[in-house]
Amino acid sequence: MAALAADLARAPRPAVLIDGPSGAGKTTLARRLGAVWPGPIALVSLDDVYPGWDGLAAGAAAVPGLLGDPSPGYRRWDWQRGRPAEWVALDPGAPIIVEGCGALTPASRARASFGIWVDADPAARRRRALSRDGDAYAPHWDRWAAQERAHWAAHRPWELADLHLNSEAVG
């Protein structure tokens, strides 16, 4: 992981996108990569960007702006209150990792230096996601999965990735 981080850090403005289905291990991978990154790096979880349980497409549409706008940032979503919260400003020159379902689209990949697709067995993914988020996620699993399938059909994110990982194989 440290060798990958060192290689990726050589880009002029490193921007790494990590996509995959819910429970695949995107957040864990992003944190591990960020922990061994040679220097400071911004880590954006699309969980903070999606505007609610029906917001996967809106979250995906926000990613290019995180990578290329002169004043990048996002309005954090307050899941407890079900409404937008504070503006989170990002340093336009700093390296960044964006993780979440919807991170890889043709528009976002055009602005990124590297893309990663993470997957795992569907039963393992569901187990992980529900053990992580429990009662908050369980009633929304099917509707979120439908949005994931729509994202995959529209953008085929695995085809935009430079690296494919099965999180069960890498731990």
Q: What is the 3-state secondary structure (H, E, C) of 104-161?
A: CCHHHHCCCCEEEEEECCHHHHHHHHHHHHHHHHHHHHHHHHHHHHHHHHHHCHHHHC
Task: Evaluate whether 155 touches 166 at the Cβ level (below 8 Å).
Answer: no
What is the residue-level pLDDT of the chain in tens, covering all 171 positions? 888 888 888 888 899 999 999 889 999 999 999 999 999 999 999 999 999 999 999 999 999 999 988 899 999 999 999 999 999 999 999 999 999 999 999 999 999 999 999 998 888 877 877 777 667 777 778 899 999 999 999 999 999 999 999 876 655
Instruction: Note whether residue 43 is domain-resident.
Output: yes
Longest dimension (CA), the chain: 43
**135, part of any domain:** yes
CATH number where 70 lies = 3.40.50.300
The two counts, helices (H) then strands (E), for the chain are: 7, 7
pLDDT of res. 145? 92
Tell me if residue 36 falls in helix, strand or coil: helix
pLDDT at 147: 97
108 inside domain: yes
**For strand 83-89 and strand 114-119, is the pairing parallel, antiparallel, or unpaired?**
unpaired
Residue 2 domain-assigned? Answer: no
| 95 within a domain of the structure (yes/no) | yes
Q: Residue 104's pLDDT is what?
A: 99
Structural domain that includes position 118: 13-170
Contact yes or no for 8/16 (Cβ under 8 A): yes
The total number of structural domains that make up the chain = 1
- 5 in any annotated domain: no
